């Protein structure tokens, strides 16, 4: 079974690999059902989805009908105003056919102008706090992509007591001194406040190129070889308190889950650097060049 750890201050011991339900977004129901069966095999008890992940919330509904109490369930809203965020949250509850969501997250809150709207009067945060007071959700978090993400999350935590954050983390990005400094500041703040810290893009290789022949199950090209995947997973899980959100490429889920299930090895930075050189790993995000990503990804 994959190791479990306290998910911040929520009182829930979550599997340190969280199932990224974006993998279900374009699936028919039978394949989604078969994919979800893998969670029990590896002891995964935490599901992360979003209203913008295609049909993912709909695909979860039949599974949750009989298994809701077995999983910590998180979703996200991309909207920044109170009215729109509440409407999307209520739609998520309806799509998944659940009465309560464990964690609602403001999706990709990394731009200063959007932050001011979401966190201000009439903003999305008001809707999420109201939903928590009404028992529709239990906890509130914030997510992000791009190089500004750690710094913006630090700002968010200083403005409100969020229960979780979600942030990119891999060897390539942490090789950038500025990003590493911002991430480490956020990490220390989360540790001090017992805020859950989820990571994404742990096995990202690079952005797709026009001449790549592979089928695209994710907005970025993932690492696909088992040994480099194992090193990438271990790199994340070796750091106390971090959770690894799984790839949206469902063809790689067995490899990822098996890597997390196997005994963890101390990350070998020389080997990680060699993986990067041999496979052609490139940062997904370069400040002020490629920081944005579609929320549907």
**82 vs 59, 118, 134, CA distance in Å?**
27, 8, 15
Give residue-wise pLDDT tens across range 124-160: 999 999 999 999 999 999 999 999 999 999 999 999 9
Q: Could you please report the per-residue DSSP string of the chain?
A: ---EEE-TTSS-EEESEEEEGGGGTT--HHHHHHHHHHHHHHT--EEE--TTSTTHHHHHHHHHHHHGGGSEEEEEE---BHHHHHHHHHHHHHHHT-S-EEEEEETT---HHHHHHHHSTTBHHHHHHHHHHTTSEEEEEEE--STTHHHHHHHHHHHS--SEEEEE--HHHHTSHHHHHHHHHHHHHHHHHT-EEEEE-TTEEEE--TT--S--SSSEEEP--HHHHHHHHHHHHTSTTEEEEPPS-GGGHHHHHHHHHSPP----HHHHHHHHHHHT---S--TTTS----TT-
Confidence at 239, pLDDT banded by 50, 70, 90: very high
Rounded CA-CA distance 103/225 in Å is 33
pLDDT averaged over the chain?
94
pLDDT at 213: 78
Higher confidence at residue 163 or residue 218? 163
Work out the average pLDDT over 225-253: 96
Q: Which CATH architecture describes the domain 4-279?
A: Alpha-Beta Barrel (3.20)
Give residue-wise pLDDT tens across range 242-297: 999 999 899 999 999 999 999 998 889 999 999 999 999 988 887 877 776 654 33
Rounded CA-CA distance 144/58 in Å is 23
pLDDT at 293: 60
pLDDT at 297: 37
Rounded CA-CA distance 134/257 in Å is 36
Give residue-wise pLDDT tens across range 165-182: 999 999 999 999 999 999
Q: What percent of the chain has pLDDT over 70?
A: 98
**254 vs 112, 179, 239, 242, 250, CA distance in Å?**
38, 30, 22, 20, 8
pTM of the model: 0.94
Q: Where are the domains of the chain?
A: 4-279
φ, ψ for residue 24, nearest 5 deg: -90, -10
pLDDT at 204 over 60: yes
pLDDT at 206: 86
Q: Evaluate whether 98 touches 64 at the Cβ level (below 8 Å).
A: yes
Which has the closest alpha carbon to 242: 174, 296, 140?
Answer: 174
Q: What percent of the chain has pLDDT over 90?
A: 86
Residues in contact with 172: Cβ distance below 8 Å, sequence separation at least 6, in sequence order: 204, 276, 281, 282, 283
pLDDT at 208: 76
Which has the closest alpha carbon to 26: 262, 194, 218, 227?
Answer: 218
pLDDT at 295: 43
């Amino acid at each position: 079974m994959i190791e479990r750890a306290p998910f911040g201050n929520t009182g829930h011991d979550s599997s340190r690999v969280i199932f990224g339900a974006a993998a279900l977004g374009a699936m028919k129901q039978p394949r989604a059902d078969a994919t979800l069966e893998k969670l029990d095999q590896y002891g995964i008890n935490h599901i992360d989805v979003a209203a913008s992940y295609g049909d993912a919330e709909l695909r979860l509904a039949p599974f949750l009908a009989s298994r809701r109490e077995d999983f910590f369930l998180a979703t996200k809203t991309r909207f920044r105003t109170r009215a729109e965020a509440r409407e999307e949250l209520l739609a998520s509850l309806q799509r998944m056919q659940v009465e309560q969501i464990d964690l609602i997250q403001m999706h990709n809150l990394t731009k200063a102008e959007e932050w001011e709207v979401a966190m201000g009067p009439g903003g999305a945060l008001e809707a999420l706090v109201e939903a928590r007071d009404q028992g529709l959700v239990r906890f509130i978090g914030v997510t992000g992509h791009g190089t500004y993400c750690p710094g913006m999350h630090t700002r968010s935590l200083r403005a409100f007591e969020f229960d979780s954050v979600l942030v990119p983390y891999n060897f390539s990005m942490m090789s950038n001194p500025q990003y590493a400094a911002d991430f480490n500041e956020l990490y220390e703040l989360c540790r001090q406040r017992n805020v859950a810290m989820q990571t994404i893009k742990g096995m990202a290789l690079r952005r797709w190129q026009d001449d790549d022949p592979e089928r695209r199950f994710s907005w970025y090209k993932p690492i696909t070889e088992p040994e480099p995947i194992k090193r990438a997973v271990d790199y994340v899980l070796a750091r106390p308190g971090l959770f690894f959100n799984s790839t949206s490429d469902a063809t790689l889920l067995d490899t990822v889950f098996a890597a997390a299930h196997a005994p963890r090895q101390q990350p070998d930075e020389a080997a990680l650097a060699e993986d990067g050189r041999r496979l052609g790993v490139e940062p997904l995000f370069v400040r002020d060049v490629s920081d944005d990503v579609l929320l549907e990804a």
